Amino acid sequence: MNAKRFFKVRGRRRIVAITAIALLLLCVASHLLSPTVCVAHESAKRAHCQSNIRQIGLACKQYSVNHRDRFPIRLTELIDGGYLNLSEVFLCPDDLALKKLLAKENLDALSSYFLVKNLKESDSSDSPLILEKPNHHGGDGGNVFYVGGHAAWVKADKLEQLYKEAGIQVPTRAPDKK
């Protein structure tokens, strides 16, 4: 169909042709933009997770002010003391399927984060206080909250090193299948 003939077509056939072209362009554009959207979505999940870990960390710092510079041993102490409400703040966005299972009784087991035990406010500001559990964010790494009050993203190998230094036993990652 040449251009002159296309524009002479009237009525329903013309609407169908224009709709088909618009849908084709929409499909091509969405295909080209999908990797960018996925990267942005993962970045947003990491930022949300870092916000969660920062809130828990700041609650731990408030707890230490009232408990002779000692941090809590269990996450439930933050709820019992009124420093945090029981909510999805204890779950990484990748773990929202666990949201229904999360209850105060099993908070330490189901939380997306490890709380390093036996730390004090006077410990080194670079000591990790809260570590994200493994296998979130595609296994690329995780968020860490430090005694000094800052949170940071660390790569997977550094996160595994921090687990070992803190004495936290984590399951080994399964080898990649090729």
| Ranges of each domain in the chain | 44-166
What is the reported pLDDT for 2? 62
**Displacement of CA 6 from its chain's centroid (Å):** 52
* CA atoms within 13 Å, Cβ hemisphere of 140: 8
What is the reported pLDDT for 5? 61
Give the tens place of pLDDT for each residue, 133-164.
887 887 888 999 999 999 999 998 999 999 99
What is the reported pLDDT for 10? 60
Give the tens place of pLDDT for each residue, 75-126.
888 888 889 886 678 888 877 556 656 556 667 777 888 899 888 999 999 9
34: pLDDT confidence band, cut at 50, 70 and 90?
Answer: confident
What is the reported pLDDT for 105? 63
Q: Return the exposure string of 64-98: e unless at least 16 CB atoms fall within 10 Å of the residue's CB, then b.
A: beeeeeebbeebbbbbeeebbeeeebbbbbbbeeb
Average confidence (pLDDT) over 40-62? 89
178: pLDDT confidence band, cut at 50, 70 and 90?
Answer: very low
175: pLDDT confidence band, cut at 50, 70 and 90?
Answer: very low
The Cα-based distances of 29 to 2, 24, 125 in angstroms read 25, 9, 48
pLDDT higher than threshold 90 for residue 176:
no
